Amino acid sequence: MHHLAIAVRDLDVSEKFYSGVLGLAVLSRQPNKSVWLDLDGAILMLEKGAGGAGTHVLALRIDRAQREAWTKKLTIVKSTAYTVYARDPDGNLVGLSHYPDPAS
């Protein structure tokens, strides 16, 4: 994958979530247009737009040992044996997955 772009209502709020909370490094900023974040070699582009909850999920890889810490840091809206899910500031579903290592 090269990049994934999602529309967000407020670039600053979304950057704080994806960079500050989830820990993705900022690669580039285009003021009032977009913020590009490192997605482990690919790029997550937060693009200024209407935002709103989509029907797809952005799933990020975590180690199984990190699951409990993330559940304390985020408001988890659902979970499976492999993934915990939270919502970003625009309501988009973000998964943190440790597949193929199931939760104990």
pLDDT tens track for 70-101: 999 999 999 999 999 999 999 999 999 999 99
Question: Does the pLDDT of residue 54 top 80, yes or no?
Answer: no
Question: Predicted confidence band at 55 (pLDDT cuts at 50, 70, 90)?
Answer: low
**Distances 98 to 2, 28, 95 between C-alpha atoms, Å:** 22, 28, 10
Tokens at residue 69, please? 């810490």
| Residue 21: burial class (beta carbons within 10 Å; 0-12, 13-18, 19+) | middle
Q: Please answer whether residues 97 and 76 qualify as being in contact, where contact means their C-beta atoms are separated by less than 8 angstroms.
A: no
Q: What is the mean pLDDT of residues 5-26?
A: 95
* In the chain, where the domains are located: 3-97
Model-level pTM? 0.87
Number of Cα atoms under 13 Å in the Cβ half of residue 39: 17
CATH of domain 3-97: 3.10.180.10
Q: What is the mean pLDDT of residues 16-23?
A: 97
